[in-house]
Every structure is written in structure tokens, then in C-alpha cells.
């Protein structure tokens, strides 16, 4: 095999693509990585849980549907919400996801990548994001090759999953299968990536596996109901999957330094129960380093209320509107006056594009401190970092809809 999958050693590129990082921060990061000689403490392996979407494990009702869209933008590109958006319809008879895509055929998301796929015909949907480690550029490696390859393989594994397999497909197992495929891909020689993967089942259960500083939020009725915590070894040093060339691995062994074996089994795993009208958000650190959870909730709530998906009650609370299902449907192709398909604008695409637009704006704002600026000030209080962090941004949004009778009237 042309390359081996292992922990990135102390000299392995990390999140070196961050712009405007103060020189003392660079020096401190480099010193910490070069000085790392003892193995890092590992979290105990979390037990796998039974997949929540096994066709025989749950009753047929109630049944949930997931309306998913993604928006994205590379850090050095202007953002256009009408083109930097992806709509997913899990009920279309689509071809299996492709891998080995040329860079020109990838979304304009820079080193960030995403995927959405049916889990065979089970009614479950798998989706996720991955953030390629920009520091690999210094070694002549395109970080997007790893992140996009990982997502393409995970989409393929989910689409082709055989429900007769002895082991159910969990989010962490999907991440493992995608990672194994990347390691066995002879066209990929090196790279690394964070990953956040979710599988939403037709019975309304959600399985999430998060490795690194991408992340997940579950919003419910104008509140953050659940969210993931970032996994980092040190400041700006997230957990990450890595593909290390043998020559680089040998050089690291010769000059010392511990290998950081971040593997899918190191991912934080959580399960969640969903309700009609919930909003699920998976995002890379380009969004999460620039928007606090409450910022994300504020943006999502504005979209949900202005669209009519959430309604304010007389008592001052929030309820899911009866119209939410119609808001998630794409326009019928060919409905425009000239016979062409109209630009699809759905509730989920509005949420995704608005979140990316706000994150993009915050990333170039030099006056309002975002989460990354707060972290710099915490670890390096003498640094004068202000504002946001310029980075690639990718967001996947899923709106949850319960198909059972009377679901729309529930609070």
C-alpha cells in the first residue's frame, strides 16, 4: 500500500491554514507539537449501540422524514447563496455516489467537504461534514483530496449498505468504513481531516459521531436542545483522521515524537430522540469558530419564524406550524414561465445559506470577537487578536418532519 494510516506525529501538519494567527501563537503551537514525546491519554472506547434504524427493530409508526440541504464556500471565494447550495431528495432513484471525482467537479467548498446519502432503502439518511487539514499544503498535498474522498466513500458505503449484515451501520462504523476505504485508495497518498457524521432513522432516532472540531447542533422550538463539544489535543490542534506516507512516518520515527492515533473509535458518540420541527445542523469549524451556539440559534430562529415554520403562541412560546411540510418541498421542475426549472428555495436551503452567509460575514469582521478569538485570548492573553477567523465554511441542515397523523399539531 502506498501509504499507511497512523497517528500524525508531532511534526505532522495540523490546522496550519488559519489566517492572521499571531507569530507567538505559531511559535507556541510549534513548540508544543515538537516537544510532545509522551503518548497522549486516550479516552476509553465507547461501546457501539444497536443501530436505531434496523428494519426489524422498531414499529412502522411513527415515521420521520428528513429534508436536507447544504451550503458551503471556500475561504478565498465570494459567497453566492444561489449557487453555493446543494439540495437533497432521499426519495429520488439516484445513482450510487461517486468517488475519485476530479477537483473541478467538487463543490466550491475548499478543503471542507460534505455528503448526504440514503442508507439503502431503509428510510434512514446518512450525512456529514469533513474538514481537510490545511497544513498538508506545506508537504505538497491537497488537503481537499482526503476530506472529499472520505465523504464520497462514506456516501457510497451508506448507499450500498446491506441490512442483512451482522453489524448494524452506526455513525461511527460508517466513519470507520469510509476511513478504511481512504487508507486503501492508492490514488491518495497523504492527508488528514476532522469528521462529524450522523445517521437519522425513520423512527426519529439520531446517531452522531464527531471527531475533531467540526460539530453538531439540534435545535428545538427556539432552543439549543443538544450540541457536540470539540475534541482537541491543544489550541488549534483538533483530533483528526490521518493518512501518513511511509517515508514521512520513517522520518518522524527517526527524529522522535509521539504519533497521535486519532481513529474513528476515538470519536465522541451520542444518540438523540427527534421531534417534528427539529432542526439538525452539522458544520465545520469555519462556521463554529465564527458563530457561538446562540448565534446559530438566533439565525435559525429568524428563518424559521419569518418563513412561518415556527409560530409564536399567545403565551409567548413557540409551536411548529402546520405549514412546515410544504416549506420543505422543492418547486416542481419546469414550473417557470419559460419552461425551465425554478431555482429551488426550501426551508432547509434557506437555513443553510443564511447560516453560511452570517458565518462568512463574521469571519472577515475585525471588530466583533468570535469563538476562535475568545480561544486565542484564553490561551494567549497578551495577543491582540480581534474579530473572526477566515476559513472554509460548510453547513448541512436537516429539518425533521413526522409523517404520522396529528404530528403537525404537536408543540
Place 59 in a pLDDT band, splitting at 50, 70 and 90.
very low
More confident residue, 41 or 173: 173
Model pLDDT, residue 101: 62
Give percent of the chain with pLDDT exceeding 90. Answer: 59
SS (H, E, C) 195-221: EEEEEECCCCEEEEEEECCCEEEEECC
Q: Minimal CA–CA distance to 286: which of 411, 370, 179, 354?
A: 370
Q: How far is CA 100 from CA 1, 105, 150, in A?
A: 17, 10, 10
Contact 386, 367 (CB under 8 A): yes
CA 45, CA 384: separation in Å to the nearest integer? 39
Residue 60 has pLDDT above 60, yes or no: no
| pLDDT, tens digit (0-9, with 9 covering 90-100), for 255-278 | 665 545 699 999 999 999 999 999
Look at residue 255 in the predicted model and tell me its pLDDT: 67
Quick one: three-class SS letters along the chain?
Answer: CCCECCCEECCCCCCCCCCCCCHHHHHHHHHHHHHCCCCCCCCCCCCCCCCCCCCCCCCCCCCEEEEEEEEEECCCCCCCCCCCEEEECCCCCCCCCCCCCCHHHCCCCCCEEEEEEECCCCCCEEEEEEEECHHHHHHCCCHHHHHHHHHHHHHHHHHCCCCCCCCCCCHHHHHHHHHHHHHCCCCCCCEEEEEEEEEECCCCEEEEEEECCCEEEEECCCCEEEECCCCEEECCEECCEEEECHHHHHHHHHHCCCEECCCHHHCEEEEEECCCCCEEEEECHHHHCCCCHHHHHHHHHHHHHHHCCEEECCCCCEEECCCHHHHHCCCCCCCCCCCCCCCCCCHHHHHHHHHHHHHHHHHCCCCCCCHHHHHHHHHCCCCCCCCCCCCCEEEEEEEEEECCCCHHHCC
Q: Which residue has the higher pLDDT, 80 or 314?
A: 80
pLDDT of residue 300: 98
Select the more confidently predicted residue: 125 or 60: 125
- Using pLDDT thresholds of 50, 70 and 90, give the confidence band for residue 47: very low
The pLDDT tens digits of the residues spanning 107-119 come to: 889 999 999 999 9
**How distant, in Å, are the alpha carbons of 17, 157, 298 from that of 234?**
16, 32, 29
For the stretch 96-121, what's the b/e string if a residue is b when 16 or more beta carbons lie within 10 angstroms of its beta carbon?
ebebeeeeeebbebbbbbbbbbbbbe
CA dihedral in degrees (172, 176, 177, 180; nearest 10)?
170
The model's pLDDT over 360-403, given as tens digits with 9 standing for 90+, comes to 999 999 999 999 999 999 999 998 889 999 999 999 999 999 98
So what's the pLDDT on residue 32? 41
Task: Give me the residue spans of the domains in the chain.
Answer: 61-330+342-409
Instruction: State the Cα–Cα distance between residues 168 and 7, nearest whole angstrom.
Output: 27
What pTM does this model have?
0.82
Residue 390 — left, alpha, or beta (φ > 0 → left; ψ -120 to 50 → alpha)?
Answer: beta
Mean pLDDT of the chain: 81
Confidence (pLDDT) at 91: 57
* pLDDT > 70: percent of the chain: 73
Residue 229 or 405, more confident: 229
Q: Which residues pair with 339 in a beta bridge?
A: none
Q: For residue 180, is pLDDT > 80?
A: yes
Closest CA to 284 of 369, 362, 194: 194
139-169 pLDDT per residue, tens: 788 999 999 999 999 999 999 999 888 889 9
How far from 327 is each of 279, 313, 331, 351, 396, CA to CA, in Å?
13, 20, 10, 12, 17
- Quick: pLDDT tens for 336-346: 443 333 457 99
Over residues 203-218, the mean pLDDT reads 97
pLDDT of residue 40: 32
Query: Sorting pLDDT into bands at 50, 70 and 90, what band is 254?
Result: low
Per-residue pLDDT, 196: 98
The yes or no reply on domain 61-330+342-409 and CATH 3.60.40.10 is yes
Amino acid at each position: 500500500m502506498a501509504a499507511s494510516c497512523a497517528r500524525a506525529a508531532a511534526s505532522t501538519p495540523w490546522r496550519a491554514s488559519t489566517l492572521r494567527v499571531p507569530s507567538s501563537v505559531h511559535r507556541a503551537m510549534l513548540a508544543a507539537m515538537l516537544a510532545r514525546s509522551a503518548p497522549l491519554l486516550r479516552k476509553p472506547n465507547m461501546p457501539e449501540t444497536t443501530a436505531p434504524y434496523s428494519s426489524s427493530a422498531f414499529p412502522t409508526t411513527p415515521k420521520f422524514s428528513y429534508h436536507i440541504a447544504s451550503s458551503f464556500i471556500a475561504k478565498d471565494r465570494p459567497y453566492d447563496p444561489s449557487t453555493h447550495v446543494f439540495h437533497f431528495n432521499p426519495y429520488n432513484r439516484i445513482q450510487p455516489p461517486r468517488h475519485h471525482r476530479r477537483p473541478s467537479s467538487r463543490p466550491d467548498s475548499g478543503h471542507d467537504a460534505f455528503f448526504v446519502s440514503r442508507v439503502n432503502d431503509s428510510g434512514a439518511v446518512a450525512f456529514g461534514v469533513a474538514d481537510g487539514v490545511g497544513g498538508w499544503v506545506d508537504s505538497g498535498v491537497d488537503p481537499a483530496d482526503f476530506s472529499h474522498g472520505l465523504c464520497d466513500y462514506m456516501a457510497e458505503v451508506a448507499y450500498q449498505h446491506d441490512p442483512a449484515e451482522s453489524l448494524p451501520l452506526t455513525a461511527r462504523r460508517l466513519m470507520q468504513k469510509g476511513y478504511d476505504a481512504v487508507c486503501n485508495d492508492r490514488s491518495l497518498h497523504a492527508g488528514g481531516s476532522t469528521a462529524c457524521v450522523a445517521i437519522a432513522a425513520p423512527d426519529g432516532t439520531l446517531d452522531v459521531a464527531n471527531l475533531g472540531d467540526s460539530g453538531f447542533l439540534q435545535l428545538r422550538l427556539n432552543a439549543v436542545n443538544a450540541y457536540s463539544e470539540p475534541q482537541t489535543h491543544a489550541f488549534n490542534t483538533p483530533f483528526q483522521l490521518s493518512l501518513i506516507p511511509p517515508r514521512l512516518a520513517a522520518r518522524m520515527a527517526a527524529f522522535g515524537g509521539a504519533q497521535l492515533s486519532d481513529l474513528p473509535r476515538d470519536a465522541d458518540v451520542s444518540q438523540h430522540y427527534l421531534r417534528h420541527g427539529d432542526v439538525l445542523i452539522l458544520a465545520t469549524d469555519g462556521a463554529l469558530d465564527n458563530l457561538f451556539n446562540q448565534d446559530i440559534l438566533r439565525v435559525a430562529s429568524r428563518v424559521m419564524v419569518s418563513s412561518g415554520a415556527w409560530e409564536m403562541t399567545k403565551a409567548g412560546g413557540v409551536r411548529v406550524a402546520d405549514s412546515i411540510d410544504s416549506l420543505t418541498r422543492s418547486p416542481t421542475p419546469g414550473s417557470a414561465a419559460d419552461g425551465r426549472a425554478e431555482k429551488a428555495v426550501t426551508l432547509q436551503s434557506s437555513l443553510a445559506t443564511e447560516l453560511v452567509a452570517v458565518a462568512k460575514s463574521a469571519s472577515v469582521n475585525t471588530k466583533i470577537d468570535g469563538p476562535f478569538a475568545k480561544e486565542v485570548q484564553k490561551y494567549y492573553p497578551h495577543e491582540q487578536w480581534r474579530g473572526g477567523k477566515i476559513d472554509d465554511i460548510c453547513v448541512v441542515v436537516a429539518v425533521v418532519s413526522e409523517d404520522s397523523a396529528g404530528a403537525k399539531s404537536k408543540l
